[in-house]
Amino acid sequence: MSVVPGLKEDCEELLGAFQQADTVRFERFAELWRERRFHTIFYGRIRALERNKLTKTTLELAQQYFFPPYSFQIRVGALYLLYGLYNAQLCQPKQKIRIALKDWPEIQKFQQDLLDSQHYDAAYVFRRLRLARAFHFTAMPKLLTYRTKKKIEENYFKEEFKDPSNRVNSLITNDVLEELMNIHGHYQKMKCVISADKSQPDKALSLIKDDFVVNLKDITLEHQEWQQNRTKLFQNAKETDETESKKKEETLLESEGSERASALARIKYRSYSAVVEVSKSRRHRQVQLESSEAGSSCGKSPSQSKKTSRRPQPARRRGEMQVAKEAVTRHIGMPVITEENSDE
Amino acid sequence: SIDMLMSSEKEEDPDVIPEDSSLLTLRIRKKVLERREETIIVDRACRQETLTYEMESHATGKRPDNLTDLIEEGELLLTLNIFYPVIFQKHKDHKPYQTVLVLGSQKLTELRDSISCVSDLQIGGEFSSQPDQAPEHISKDLYKSAFFYFEGIFYNDKRYPECRDLSRTIIEWSESHDRGYENLQSVRMEDYVFNDLSLKIGFPYLYCHQGNCEHIIIITDIRLIHHDDCLDRNLYPLLIKKHWLCTRKCSVCKMYTARWVTNRDSLAPEDPCFFCDVCFRMLHYDTEGNKLGEFLAYPYADPGIFN
């Protein structure tokens, strides 16, 4: 579909403001909408044929924000945006929103989430759209067109809108932990059965730590807390970046220590270039300040883990910023993991 | 009351872009409009645009008179692009096509009947000596065979006794050596509806008729029927987009579409030369109907005849 110039920026700006407002209430969204007078986006003396195409493109663009991997708040914002655009359009009969079959279960899950968390205004908005027959149920999300594109546009995700990618959590979910507990229990019973003493397993059979599942859960929780703290600090750091004076302050305070730190960082950067490559390629899927998760730090000794939490590439672009940011990262380095005797 | 939150308070003219807009989209659009005014580019709908828009939207919302023809909920709607077989140089980059909407419960034969191709209208034979006896039988009536090719299966039109299995040649060819095409089958077109097929969206399929006139068919969209669509079953397959081809006009009057083409004509300025019916007879035959000069004449059907 053709691109409408300026539309993506406008939508992202509105959704960004909604995210800043840190709420999912429709009244707030409507205020932001009215401030920008967003309903005028279809104005401008457009004839019928062009208007149809334009409206279709607009709805398609807004619809992209409605699905994962965007965060919950952005998805609610996208729902409101779709509602607004659908009602503000000037086409008669109205252009519809295309939903692919594969996305439909996601949307139903989303609606269930909304009802469970009692965001009744969002659920009502969705119901209104359904009642107004605003959806086309299609096989594929994008309508095919056959014009040779001058350049292939890459669909990049705006980073702040996404949920912080929580790979650890998605791997170690509650279900997985439960399963592990069950299996562990079975294993212990099995050991008891085949050992001489029926009430407890033979000493020779104790090959694993008994409470490793609990430990795993604790570590996961720690990681999650650390990530949340870090994103908060990152946001705070970003705000302070904008005020010049504060930046100067920080640089003065941290100048000595961070000079050495930055020198060390440069050395590390050169030697860990393999690690850097991986994180760079996944950079578009991670929040900017992500430490080298792809790399090595997890199982290593604590002292090393602190240093490898340097952010290599993007720091180079901003000279002084780097110093301030590195100070910040040093404070919230990776949590120290005590070495276990037997590795899992 | 949720709706109220959206609409504006005062009367607004949708044609006028507000002055102080904070939206980037509107600022850009405004610049384009202003530039057009400055350079006095007149912005009116040309007839091509009107035609395209009309074709797209003429059937929306239609309901049938007879309620048995009403399409039910749950019906699938397919959008097919059928490409023209004519190959002109100017079409190198964007091959022209027509877009047809088809219901899932319609038979393949209905689609076949709705495809209008100029090769169906051609009349074979040289008729310089007897121009009045150019037969009325067009190729469509003479050569009725056709087939569709979807996903390894050839659907042949076998409704009439003179229809032959055109796909037999292909199947024999692929079976003669191990060419890597497995399981090509041949079935009857009239036994199948679109719901029975398994199709890929965006993958090119084939429609062949007249023995060697081949059209590529691509399915661009499958969706459920909607309240705002045309719900009259008789109107499907529905043509919503057609490419406009310029018709070739008569070389003499340059007004009427050409109906005859001559080769090796001593009376014509070029070879081949196109004539409309009136000019053709006036030039090549005297009042008694005798042939004047040497020439070969063939009836001609212009590709733009469906405009």
Distance from CA of A216 to the nearest CA of B (A): 46
Tokens of B207: 């429609």
| Crossing angle between the packed helical segments A26-36 and A72-88, to the nearest 10 degrees | 50
Helix (H) or strand (E) holding B260: strand B260-263
B49-242 belongs to CATH 1.10.3470: no
Residue A309 confidence (pLDDT)? 37
Taking CA atoms, B134 is separated from B122, B138, B253, B271, in Å, by 11, 10, 22, 21
Closest chain B residue to the Cα of A124, Cα to Cα: B2
pLDDT of residue A326: 40
d(CA A95, CA A284) in angstroms, rounded, equals 33
Confirm or reject contact between A102 and chain B (CB < 8 A): no
A133/B23 Cβ within 8 A: no
A208: distance to nearest CA of chain B, Å? Answer: 52
d(CA A267, CA B183): 62
**Separation CA A301–CA A11 (nearest Å):** 46
Ordered alpha helix ranges (H), A202-301: 212-242, 244-271, 273-281
Which alpha helices (H) appear in B177-300, and where do they start and end? 277-284
Q: Where are the domains of chain B?
A: 49-242, 245-306
User: Which stretches within B200-306 are classed as H helix?
Assistant: 277-284
Say which residues have a Cβ less than 8 Å from residue A122's Cβ, sequence separation at least 6. A24, A26, A76, A79, A80, A114
Q: For testing the chain A interface, which of B8, B22, B223, B224 should be mutated: the one with the most A CBs within 10 Å?
A: B223
The conformational region for residue A45 under phi > 0 = left, psi -120 to 50 = alpha, else beta, is left
CB pairs under 8 A between A and B: 129
A94 DSSP assignment: P
Q: Whose structure tokens read 């996208």?
A: A78
Walk along chain B (307 residues) and give the pLDDT tens digit of each residue: 556 556 554 556 666 666 666 677 777 777 777 777 777 767 677 777 788 888 878 877 777 777 777 778 788 888 888 888 766 666 666 777 888 889 888 888 888 888 888 777 777 777 777 767 666 666 666 677 888 888 888 888 888 777 777 778 888 888 887 777 777 888 888 888 888 888 888 888 988 888 778 888 988 888 888 888 888 888 888 888 887 777 788 888 888 888 888 888 888 888 888 888 888 888 888 887 777 878 888 888 777 777 6
Note the pTM of the prediction, 2 decimals.
Answer: 0.64
**Residues A161, A5, B18, B46, Cα dihedral to 10°:** -140
Contacts of A93 in chain B (CB under 8 A): 60-61, 228
Question: Which residues in chain B touch residue A101, judged by CB atoms under 8 angstroms apart?
Answer: none
Find the length of chain A: 344
Distance of CA B81 to the CA centre of its chain: 9
Q: Decide: B206 and B217 in contact? Cβ < 8 Å.
A: yes
Q: Are B49 and A47 in contact (CB under 8 A)?
A: yes
Nearest to B166 by CA among B214, B199, B203: B214
For B:204-233, CB contacts with A below 8 A are 218, 220-224, 226-228
Chain A contact for B6 (CB, 8 A cutoff): yes
Q: How far apart are CA B157 and CA B165, in angstroms?
A: 8
Sign, CA torsion A76/A77/A81/A87: positive
B18 at the A interface (CB within 8 A)?
yes
What is the DSSP secondary-structure string of A14-40?
HHHHHHHHT---HHHHHHHHHHHTGGG
Chain B residue with minimal CA distance to A94? B228
B185: left (phi over 0), alpha (psi -120 to 50) or beta: beta
Structure tokens at A114: 């909304």
Q: Are B3 and A87 in contact (CB under 8 A)?
A: yes
Cross-chain Cβ contact B26/A30 below 8 Å: no
Laid out side by side, the sheet with B260-263 consists of: B273-275, B260-263, B296-299
> Cβ A5–B8 below 8 Å, yes or no?
no
**Which among B5, B25, B35, B83 is the top mutation candidate for probing chain A, defined by the most A β-carbons within 10 Å of its own β-carbon?**
B25
Both tokens assigned to A171: 């791997």
Chain B residues in contact with A136 (beta carbon < 8 A): 223-224, 226
d(CA B44, CA A242): 49
Of A90, A96, A148, the CB nearest to B226: A96
Spatial contact of B5 and A128, defined as CB atoms under 8 Å apart: no
Q: Is the ipTM of this complex over 0.90?
A: no
- Which residues have a Cβ under 8 Å from the Cβ of B226 and sit 6 or more positions away? A96, A133, A136
- Which chain A positions have a beta carbon within 8 Å of B30's beta carbon? 44
- Please give, rounded to a whole number of angstroms, the shortest distance from the CA of A108 to a CA of chain B: 18
Residue numbers of chain A with a pLDDT score lower than 70: 1-2, 45, 142-174, 196-206, 234-344
Measured between beta carbons, the chain B residues lying within 8 angstroms of A7 are 24-25
Burial class (CB in 10 A: 0-12, 13-18, 19+), B156: buried
Structure tokens at B270: 């070029």
Give the Å distances, CA to CA, from A94 to A79, A80, A133, A270.
17, 17, 10, 57
Question: A124 at the B interface (CB within 8 A)?
Answer: yes
Contact state of B226 with A133 under an 8 Å Cβ cutoff: yes
Chain A from 304 to 343: CB within 8 A of any B CB: none
CA distance B302 to B121: 9
**Helix, strand, coil: what percent of chain B each, to 5?**
25, 20, 50
